Structure 1
Amino acid sequence: MKIIIGSKNPAKITAVKNSFSHEGEFVSLDIPSGVSEQPFSDEETIKGAINRAATALKQGNGDIGIGLEGGVQETSYGLLICNWGALVTNESGPFIAGGARIPLPEEIAVRLRAGEELGPVMEDYAKNKNVRKQEGAVGIFTNGMVNRSEMFTHVMNLLVGQYKRSI
């Protein structure tokens, strides 16, 4: 089975491999999400994940395409991080699943509402490079209790479970 991952981000690649174990060949491609750099709703984040999965499957000529997308969602409780995934095959899908949500501190939310992207804002906040490829905002704001790869592994387990149930 050839599994095409629509990202070169190490946290996302690890999540996919964690969920599929040793069930196939993994190929990661740099696939654009087709949505804004900072998705600002569940709808947009889901669309980005589906776009990545479908394009990965097509460009990678694989059996399964995976798209993982992080975004934010405005609520009456503040701006929350959100993360969504999609799994598509040539026969079925998209299967979609979402994961953990936590509120962002207002100092971060203000910058995102002003048009900045979470990744660079987090690098500035944490005084660290490549936060999105490592612990992510979730890792920083959970004091390391949950990192980005673990968060996306949860989403992947939801996707793979739906997919395996359907076959």
Structure 2
Amino acid sequence: MNATATQSNQTQSEGQLIIRVAVGSSNPCKINAARRAFEEVFSVASNRELLVVISSYNVPSGVPDQPFGDAETRLGAMNRAKAAHEAACSEIEDKKGHPDFSVGLEGGLEKQPYPQADELWCNAWVAVFSAEESWGFAKSGSFLLPPALFDLVINEGMELGDADDIVFKRVNSKHGQGTVGKLTDGQIDRESFYVHALKLALIPWLRPELYHRRDKG
């Protein structure tokens, strides 16, 4: 199927399709989300046994630790994806071992003015960079943060993860179920939140006949 034929670095071993993915983060939620998304998308698309090989890199986003707005958050995801690609290629001399895809995932916030009181919304941007130097992007769903988190983030200048730990009295929540997991009683955890967006970002490789490879470099 076209979805798996577009990547020259993808290898086959005794009928098994191997896809190498570099993730621009050491956060286990993001790493697991990348594995799940690629396994679920390409196992169906290829209709063959699939092995997704993940490598992770703690790379900078190039944006503030707490991004605000779509432009800043999307740029952070792009920077992470490109940096992960470069890090993977620099440590592997053989081009056959270079990643087929590199992924950046960036959580962001958006402040919305309303007559009664300003609101703070949480979302994420995902960027996928291919070995062919083409891009795929997607934005997650968004959800409203409660006033206690608003106060700590906006008035105290905290990152959402740190504010979450204080409000909900837990430790390193952004490496666990995340704020979305707490607010939905675990029905949508942070990993699943990213998986959905990653699948959307992979649409151009599922439907290459409908998308031009236009985002070079």
TM-score range for the pair, normalised by the shorter chain length: over 0.9
Q: C-alpha root-mean-square deviation of aligned residues, in Å? A: 1.5
Taking structure 1 as the reference length, the TM-score comes to: 0.94
Taking structure 2 as the reference length, the TM-score comes to: 0.73
Residue of structure 2 equivalent to 1:64: 101
How far off is 1:81 after superposition?
0.3
Structure 1 alignment gaps of length 5 or more: none
Percent identity, aligned pairs only, is 32
How far off is 1:162 after superposition?
2.5
| 4+ residue segments displaced more than 4 Å | none
Q: Is the 8 A contact 2:73 2:106 kept in 1?
A: yes
CA distance in 1, matches of 2:160, 2:81: 22
> 1:24 is paired with a residue of what secondary structure?
strand
Post-superposition CA distance 1:15-74 (Å, at most 9, x none): 111111144311011111110000011111100000000111111122211000001011
User: How does 1:30-41 map onto structure 2 within 5 Å?
Assistant: 30-41=58-69
Post-superposition CA distance 1:105-140 (Å, at most 9, x none): 112112111311111111111111121011101111
> 1:7 is paired with a residue of what secondary structure?
coil
Equivalences, count: 167
> 2:207 is paired with a residue of what secondary structure?
helix
CA distance in 1, matches of 2:68, 2:105: 15
Residue of structure 1 equivalent to 2:183: 141
Q: Is the 8 A contact 1:80 1:102 kept in 2?
A: yes
Structure 2 alignment gaps of length 5 or more: 1-18, 40-49, 90-98, 210-217
Computing the radius of gyration from Cα coordinates, the structure with the larger value is 2
